[in-house]
A and B are shown apart, each in its own frame.
Chain A
Amino acid sequence: MTSIAGCFTLDGAPVPFEEGQTVMQAATAAGLAVPHLCWHPALGQSGACRLCTVRIDGRLAAACTTPAVADAEVQCRTGELDGRRRLLLQMLFAEGNHFCPGCEKSGDCALQSAAYEVGMTSPHFEEFFPDRLVDASHPDVWLDLNRCILCKLCVRASHEIDGKDVFAIAGYGIGAHLIVNAPSGRLGDSALVARDFATRVCPVGAILPKRRGFAVPIGSRRHDLDAGTTPGHVHAVAETRTEDDRG
Chain B
Amino acid sequence: MPTGVLPPSRETAQAPPAGRGNHRDSPAATGHEIGAAVAAALRRHGGRREQLVQILCDLQASTRWLPPGALAAVAQGVGLSPAIVLGVASFYRFFHLRPVGRVHLLWSDNVTDRHRGNRERAAQVARAFDLPPDGSPSSDGRISQGFASCTGLPDQGPAVLVNQQQVVTRLDASRTDAMIDLIRQGVAPDAWPAEWSRVDDAVHRADVILDGEALRGEALRRVLASGAPGALDELEASRLRGRGGAGFPTAHKWRLCRAAAVPEGGTRVVVCDADEGEPGTFKDRVLLRRQADTVLEGMTVAARLVEARRGFIYLRGEYRFLLDELEAVLARRRSTGLLGADILGTPGFHFDVEIHLGAGAYVCGEESALLESLEGKRGTPRIRPPFPMERGYLGQPTIVNNVETFCAAARIAHLGVAAWTSRGTADSTGTKLHSVSGDCERPGVYELPYGVSVRDVLALCGAQDTQAVQVGGPSGQCLAAPEFDRRLAFEDVPTAGAFTVFNARRDLFEVAHGYSHFFAHESCGFCTPCRVGTELVLRRFDKLASGYGSMFDEAELRELEALLHGTTHCGLGATATNPLRDTLLRFRPAYERRLQQPRFVPAFDLDAELAPARRATGRDDPRAHLERIG
Contact = CB atoms under 8 A, between A and B. Distances in A.
Q: Which of B520, B531, B559, B602 neighbours the largest number of chain A CB atoms within 10 Å of its CB? A: B531
B603 A170 contact: no
A48 interface: yes
A54 B163 CA distance: 46
Interface in A161-181: 165-177, 179-181
A186 B18 CA distance: 7
A92 to B, nearest CB: 6
Interface stretch (A27-35, A83-91, A207-215, A219-227): A83-91
B567 to A, nearest CB: 5
B567 A170 contact: no
Given A60-B566, A92-B532, A175 B525 contact: yes
Contact of A91 (B19, B20, B532): B532
Contacts of A25: none
A174 B385 CA distance: 27
B383 A88 contact: no
A184 B529 contact: no
B559 A165 contact: no
Interface stretch (B9-17, B340-348, B471-479): B9-17
B523 A173 contact: yes
Given A88-B528, A168-B84, A173 B19 contact: no
Given A173-B531, A175-B10, A180-B83, A50 B525 contact: no
B273 interface: no
A63 interface: no
B378 interface: yes
Contact of A176 (B72, B84, B529, B531): B531
Contacts of B566: 53, 60
A166 to B, nearest CB: 8
Interface in A2-59: 45, 47-51, 53
A85 to B, nearest CB: 9
Contact of A47 (B10, B93, B383): B383
A33 to B, nearest CB: 19
B81 A165 contact: yes
Q: Which of B18, B86, B90, B566 neighbours the largest number of chain A CB atoms within 10 Å of its CB? A: B18
Contacts of A165: 81, 83-84
Interface in B72-111: 72, 81-84, 86-87, 90-91, 93
Contacts of B524: 172-173, 176
B492 to A, nearest CB: 24
B527 A181 contact: no
Contact of B535 (A45, A170, A174): A174
A198 to B, nearest CB: 13
Interface string B501-537: 0000000000000000000111111111101111110
Nearest to B521: A173
A174 B90 contact: no
A167 B83 contact: yes
A129 interface: no
Contact of A179 (B83, B361, B567, B602): B83
B14 A175 contact: yes
B525 A88 contact: no
Q: Which of B532, B534, B566 neighbours the largest number of chain A CB atoms within 10 Å of its CB? A: B532
Interface string A107-144: 00000000000000000011010000101000000000
B550 interface: no
A150 interface: yes
A45 B383 contact: yes
A60 B567 contact: yes
Given A49-B528, A67-B385, A174-B523, A84 B567 contact: yes
Given A125-B536, A174-B523, A48 B569 contact: yes
Contacts of A135: 19
Nearest to B383: A65
Interface residues of A, number: 46
Q: Which of A47, A92, A168, A182 neighbours the largest number of chain B CB atoms within 10 Å of its CB? A: A168
Nearest to A187: B19
Kindly state the interface size class of chain B when it binds its partner.
35 or more
A82 interface: no
B8 to A, nearest CB: 11
A101 interface: no
Given A167-B83, A174-B520, A181-B83, A133 B17 contact: yes
A130 B501 CA distance: 38
B458 to A, nearest CB: 35
Contacts of A60: 566-567
B581 interface: no
B16 to A, nearest CB: 9
A175 to B, nearest CB: 4
Contacts of A50: 527-529, 567-569
B563 interface: yes
A102 interface: no
Contact of A168 (B81, B559, B560, B567): B81
Contact of B567 (A88, A94, A166): A88
B20 A185 contact: yes
Contacts of B486: none
B525 A179 contact: no
A183 interface: yes
A140 B191 CA distance: 58
B541 to A, nearest CB: 14
B423 interface: no
B525 A87 contact: no
Given A173-B521, A185-B20, A179 B87 contact: yes
B539 interface: yes
A93 B147 CA distance: 30
Given A168-B81, A168-B84, A88 B529 contact: yes
A18 B202 CA distance: 57
Given A48-B527, A126-B603, A168-B86, A177 B567 contact: no
Contact of B87 (A125, A149, A150, A170): A170
B556 to A, nearest CB: 8
Interface string A76-106: 0000000010011001101100000000000
B376 to A, nearest CB: 14
B19 A184 contact: yes
Given A88-B563, A173-B520, A174-B525, A150 B531 contact: yes
Nearest to A22: B383
Contacts of A175: 10, 14-15, 525
A75 B484 CA distance: 40
A126 to B, nearest CB: 7
Contacts of A169: 87, 378, 525
Contacts of B87: 168-170, 179
Interface in B361-396: 361, 378, 383, 385
Interface of A: 45, 47-51, 53, 60, 62, 65, 67, 84, 87-88, 91-92, 94-95, 125-126, 128, 133, 135, 149-150, 165-177, 179-186
Q: Across the A-B interface, give the 6 residue pairs with the lowest CB-CB distance, nearest first.
A: A185-B18, A185-B19, A176-B525, A181-B83, A91-B532, A168-B83
15 contacts: A50-B568, A60-B567, A84-B567, A91-B532, A94-B532, A126-B602, A150-B528, A170-B15, A172-B10, A172-B14, A173-B535, A174-B531, A176-B531, A179-B83, A185-B19
